Amino acid sequence: MLYDRVIENLQEFSMSPEDQIKQLKGFSVADELASDFSDITLNYAKELFENAWITTKQYQQFLSIDERLDDMSKNKALWCKEALKDTSEWNKCRKTGAKLLASLEGGRSTYS
């Protein structure tokens, strides 16, 4: 179940900014994405890693995204809908999330 939840969270994290905005309507989208990733997904990933459900490389990718989000939190300009759509920082997060998602979905039949 944790594995499926991680997949769902990464799908949301990796979708287009327009879809993220639509999906999280009524929320501060950038804050919600970062919070879901750092407070929920990363904790689940840690548990999956500790139980050998994901590889070291995959876990390091989770940590890398979290570190990027932490660095981004120092720049208030990155936390609005426009920045979510237009900045390279958010684009890099989505791309890294999509690569991680692809690697996890490739192993899904093994772990589910």
C-alpha 14/C-alpha 102 separation (Å) is 10
**Residuewise pLDDT in 10s, the chain (112 residues):** 899 999 999 999 999 999 999 999 989 999 999 999 999 999 999 999 999 999 999 999 999 999 999 999 999 999 999 999 999 999 999 999 999 999 998 755 333 3
Backbone angles phi, psi at 55, to 5 degrees: -80, 165
Alpha helix segments (H runs only) across the chain = 2-14, 17-23, 29-35, 42-50, 56-72, 81-86, 88-106, 108-111
Contact 37, 9 (CB under 8 A): yes
pTM, to two decimals? 0.90
CA distance 31 to 106: 29
